Structure 1
Amino acid sequence: MPKASKKEKNAGLQNREKQNNNHPTVKPIKLMSYLITMGSREGDIVLDPFCGSGTTLLAARFLGRKFIGIDIEEKYYEIAHERLKNVSGRLPKPEPLASGKIQRLSDFKSFELQSQGGPILNGSVLSKLPAIIGKILNNPSTVPTEIDGFKITGHKKQNLEQKKEPDNVQDWADKGINISRGCSNDCRYCYAREESVRRHGNTVENWPKEELNPKIISKGWRISSKRLMFPSTHDITPGTYDACETVLKKLLKAGNKLLVVSKPRPDLIEKLCDAIAPYKSQVMFRFTITAMDNNVLGFWEPNAPPYEDRKKALVVVKEKGFRNSVSIEPMLDSPNVGDLIEDLRPHTTDCMWVGPMKMVKKRVVNDSPQVEKEIVKIISDQTHVKLLPIYMKYKDDPMIKWKGHYRKLLRKLRVEIPPQKDDWRDRVPE
């Protein structure tokens, strides 16, 4: 990461007699922001007992954290105080990584150090190895890099790009369309909530409030060649239903085929089926049904419908002549997922996607002993060893599909599941 620019270091110091930040080791805000994000959540307190000119504290403020800064040098305290007093704003979005560029040591199978018959491996060579490996990481090449009479070569893992699994959305769609910032179901593991808090300045407390986006609701739509999913970051709830129906009608009238995804409420789904009945040949419903046990559902998905309602919605859609499918992701009750599959099978016309919970500790707010207990349980229930018997039981079942994280975990046991990109449009009749 590049060093802090002069402009960044001196921002906010215009009113000082000495307008420059003369601290000898000013860190870039982007670097400290990354570290803060990795180690804290919005509202937490960040302590920097050697805060220097205050970069860590600025990053904490930008990311919605509280902070305490301490420094032994009064002159640096004064610089930090001026920067904090005068600099405000939000952090820019990080730029995407260059396609195909190797960024991690784990992308390499090994590094080979070859002697040219002369010097021994001494301290001088060892001290330079991290810099040499860094160059190889940023500029992968099969050509050895020479260092003091030695040659070092990085051996890249085979088919690196092929091994990378798509994320949850990419399995099913090329584009997600959403009309709400927030979701009243307020699922504890929600990836969209975590991302909204981390990247877009939202808060955990505000997420259930469902702020509708009038620009998306009033927008006109054209037909797209992409696989479209609606919605992808929230559900169809009483608070969003009218807007969802409006946008769905526009998308379907334009000729699009749609994957409609939600934790379903049967009354809303029946109403929606009647509203879009002329377009039933363009729609595939995919309902998230993650467990049969309502105690489990009530903990992880506190405001979402109970199991019986979700199953009823699946039945309603089938009776109305629409195609339907199921998402059992995340499996909230892995030991009983077989019973869930068999109970839903008679009412499912297309397929069921099975997947574990991703990034549990990152996405779930651990704020009580009960939450801690449930986190431990869900992690222990979805280890690759425990996922294997489920896969072996259903691996030849044409109705069962495996989400990317499931495939990734089973690779630890050398079980290769082919990529399962779902072009459900081919299975929606013309």
Structure 2
Amino acid sequence: MLKQKISPAQTIPNLKAFLRAPCTAGLSVSTGCSNYCSYCFVENEANRMGVPWRMRNLPIEHILSEASKLRGEIVQLPVTHDITPFNVELCIQAISELVQHNQVVVVTKPFEECIDAIIAAFSQEHLKRKITFRISISSDDDTLLRKWEPGAPLYQERFHVLKKLHQLGWRVGANIAPMLDIPNVVHLFRTLEPFCNDTIYVAKIAEGHLLKPRGALKASDIEVLRQQHADIEMLTSIHVQLQNSPAHPAQRASSAP
């Protein structure tokens, strides 16, 4: 069971769906998220349940208390939001607590300044070994990113951070999830792969997910993505082309000790 709370008083269900192997638990430090991703399942669930989904940092006492309950787990941080200048210091405090007894997987559409602060705080080798970064890059097309993830960094900043982490010797993987540009997924995977010593996950938007036009995202953009995600031939081709890649989840699992 996922030990994850949205706030000290309220819980949103089904968050275990956000975890990917090897994570067994998750921790967040805020509610709301400034990325405003149009496909955000957590915001969708919060709205459905009538839970206010405004940006608010949780009390540090609550964060540390929740972290202390996760001893021995492989913890994803964060789960329900991203790491931004708004909450990076709380994220660092949470990681500091977690690395004492856990492996930590940091999942983010990275702001470089935030990643720089994290790697500076955990540069000692015994701490570095406890942390894996998983960088979310759902497309290399900034036009698509501006429509679907309007508050998140654009492609070059994310790719630069991925390369920097790899060059500095951190353990790093990637998420192409959800795929925002399915015809270009294999090319993007191949571009990221040389800089990943951990898994690259590729995934669709969840079935039945409610998508609505907002901001620059139009109904026609949503329809294009729906058609791509329903194209079994295209999805099968992606699977066939990537299944033997070293960064593919199946290959990582088969090579694990």
TM-score tier after normalising by the smaller chain length: 0.7 to 0.9
Report the alpha carbon displacement of residue 95 of structure 1 after superposing the two structures with TM.
Answer: 10
| Selected match of 1:312 from 160, 163, 181 | 160
Q: Distance in 1 between matches of 2:134 and 2:203?
A: 14
CA–CA separation in structure 1 for the residues paired with 2:62 and 2:163 = 30
Flag structure 2 segments of 5+ consecutive residues without an equivalent: 1-9
1:273–1:320 CA contact under 8 A, matched in 2: no
Partner SS state of residue 325, structure 1: strand
Does 1:301 pair with 2:146?
no
Q: Which of 228, 235, 243 is matched with 1:381 structurally?
A: 228
One-letter identity of the residue aligned with 1:350 = D
Q: Does residue 1:396 correspond to 2:244, yes or no?
A: yes
Partner of 1:176: 26
Equivalenced residues, count: 242
Work out whether residues 212 and 219 of structure 2, in 8 Å CA contact, stay in contact via their aligned partners in 1.
Answer: no
Matched residue SS, 2:219: helix
Cα 1:285–1:245 shift into 2, 3 Å: same
SS at match of 1:353: strand
> Which residue matches 2:5?
none
SS at match of 1:277: coil
Question: Which is higher, the Rg of structure 1 or of structure 2?
Answer: 1
Secondary structure at the aligned position of 1:233 is classed as coil
Please give the alpha-carbon distance, in whole angstroms, between the structure 2 residues aligned to 1:348 and 1:93.
34
Q: Is the 8 A contact 1:180 1:211 kept in 2?
A: yes
Q: 1:342, CA displacement in angstroms?
A: 1.6
Residue of 234, 251, 254 corresponding to 2:81: 234
Cα distance change, pair 386–217 in 1 and its aligned pair in 2 (3 A): same
- The answer to whether the aligner puts 1:211 opposite 2:37 as a matched pair is no
Does the CA contact (< 8 Å) of 1:189 and 1:360 recur in 2? no
Amino acid of the structure 1 residue aligned with 2:117? K
Task: Tell me which residue corresponds to 2:219.
Answer: 372
Q: Where do residues 104-183 of structure 1 align in structure 2 (5 Å cutoff)?
A: 167-183=17-33
Q: Which runs of 5+ in 1 are unaligned?
A: 1-91, 97-165, 403-419
Q: CA deviation at 1:94?
A: 11
Question: Aligned-pair RMSD on alpha carbons?
Answer: 3.0
Identity of aligned residues (%): 26
Cα-to-partner distance string for 1:136-192 (whole Å, 9 max, x where unaligned) = xxxxxxxxxxxxxxxxxxxxxxxxxxxxxx834254422110011111011000111
Which of the residues 325, 328, 339 maps onto 2:176?
328
> Contact 1:182 / 1:210 at 8 angstroms: preserved in 2?
yes
Once residues 370 and 288 of structure 1 are traced to their aligned partners in structure 2, the CA distance between those partners, rounded to angstroms, is 20
Q: Which amino acid aligns with 1:245?
A: I
Q: Is the 8 A contact 1:334 1:382 kept in 2?
A: yes
Match of 2:102 among 233, 237, 256: 256
Q: Give the 3-state SS of the residue equivalent to 1:187 in structure 2.
A: coil
Q: Which has the higher contact order (CA 8 A, sep 6+)?
A: 2
For residue 286 of structure 1, give the secondary structure of its aligned residue in structure 2: strand
The answer to whether 1:270 aligns with 2:102 is: no
Q: Could you tell me the TM-score, scaled by structure 1's length?
A: 0.52
Aligned-partner SS, 2:129: helix
| Alpha carbons 2:199, 2:252 under 8 Å: kept | no
